[in-house]
A and B are shown apart, each in its own frame.
Chain A
């Protein structure tokens, strides 16, 4: 058996409302609020990035796992906003939690799927017996170009998971991945903001891959949507995960617990992994959870988790994801947001 022995999430405290962004660009806030089901999004403070949020989420994961960080054999950070183009995020995280030097570090990249691929690799390394624990993080401080539709959702957050063999909080029952080459969203080297091709967004990208991965994993284990207590899908906005859940045959009550995007925004590599942390915060022993990520380019990783009796011992050992999301928020205006995110051109 392999699975999760510790988990944690981190969300910066700053929020900006959709109305505040719409006001600046002269767009209709309601079309985003109703059309995409987004209300507000998290914004990192100027001194926060993928690395700092990964450290905080991982310290929470360690509080729940109660393990010696020296026993962690791999530190993998999945992100599309690694602070350096060349120099790993993983080594800073490994050093900050005291896992160095007897550890393997790598940074993962696959648009919004980088976090779940780190989770997948850690599970398999633990399963193979080459290490006792593996640490997988999905984190992003993503940017949308000013005025672009993505600006209403591009947010910041991190989820951290420690994978192991014993004392599991949730067992990984099955994994399955579904990939094709689809150019729906990309960013070339030296380009500051990503580009997206509207004709590929949605049906041939998000929906095709998530449905492919979800149907594939359900077939592998011979389970149906009604067998699950919870399901969580990648959340580029609030509407897509609800729509894909409905297409697959899930009911709203199975989707609500893991749905964070309307109040947090799209945390890219952190998105469905953070949804999973919110589910684990509330889950009960024997609950089954389906998680499917999505990364542009394109592919989905699917996981089926079975919650163990140990979950109730650890849920309160670190802050819960929805408490972090709902408490201690600071609303900022567009000017402050633009300054925090480096969107203002200053003199050299």
Chain B
């Protein structure tokens, strides 16, 4: 992931900023320009809830090269309170004890580093409550 893309996504990665449609109230994460339900183009910024429930997950055993040291690790879809679903790595957990429906909490973590000398990319991950 190149640095400019990471930098542009900081509001979402750091603060979980979503866009709430002023027409129908639908919350989008990441934000969109046009609401797919009511076609409105007016949005307000909302911070997503930092807790939710694990909807589904998978264990990655053959990861992309920069994640090799973390293998095996879990990736899951978490439905945050008030209804927004996010895809997130699930950490600080016992992989054998993960359960669908389990309560999860967002924590701010390092996502990966661009080698020993590059930038460190931060963002959200989920940990069991």
Contacts and interface: CB of A to CB of B under 8 A. Distances in A.
Interface of A: 13, 45-49, 51-52, 55-56, 59, 83-84, 87, 92, 95-98, 330, 339
A334 to B, nearest CB: 17
Given A46-B70, A47-B125, A52 B109 contact: yes
Interface in B61-85: 69-70
Given A46-B70, A47-B109, A96-B108, A84 B15 contact: no
Contacts of A96: 14-15, 108, 122
A56 B107 contact: yes
A339 B119 CA distance: 21
Contact of A45 (B10, B14, B92): B92
Contacts of B122: 51-52, 92, 96
B92 A330 contact: yes
A98 B119 CA distance: 21
B86 interface: no
B107 A95 contact: no
Q: Which of A52, A56, A83, A87 has the most CB of B within 10 A?
A: A52
A47 B14 contact: no
A141 to B, nearest CB: 11
B120 interface: yes
Contacts of A83: 120
A48 B110 contact: yes
A45 B15 CA distance: 21
A124 B92 CA distance: 39
Contacts of B107: 52, 56
9 contacts: A45-B92, A45-B109, A47-B91, A48-B110, A52-B109, A55-B108, A87-B119, A97-B15, A98-B15
Contacts of A13: 92
Interface in B11-26: 14-15
B33 interface: no
